[in-house]
Amino acid sequence: MDPDDLLDDDNALLDENFEQLSLATAANREFWVAPMEAAISAAEHKRRKNANTTEDEQPKNNVLSDPEFDNEGSLRYRKRRRK
């Protein structure tokens, strides 16, 4: 795993002695695997979030934030209901 693929706070997970980890019990290995999987998921989530934001930090293609979205409770829906 490349340390650049993880968040800065999670890089300490890669400082593990992997030879000792391979000889450890399954429970002890799981104590390392679970936070590592969480760290990978968090880094992937942050990458996706950054890819979906513009320079103004507004999400792209967020249909629900568009006031013209035609759904119950939207401006367009309420105007049609009044007619």
Residue carrying the six token digits 């799981």: 30
Q: Rounded to the nearest 5 degrees, what angle is found at the Cα of 39, between the Cα atoms of 35 and 45?
A: 140
With respect to residue 51, please indicate whether it lies within any of the assigned structural domains: yes
Stretch 11-38: mean pLDDT: 92
With respect to residue 74, please indicate whether it lies within any of the assigned structural domains: yes
Residue 51's pLDDT is 84
Stretch 11-32: mean pLDDT: 92
Q: Domain limits at 39?
A: 8-82
Determine the 3-state secondary structure of 74 from DSSP: coil
4 vs 73: which has the higher pLDDT: 4
pLDDT confidence bin for 44, thresholds 50/70/90: very high
How many domains, the chain?
A: 1
- pLDDT of 74 > 90? The answer is no
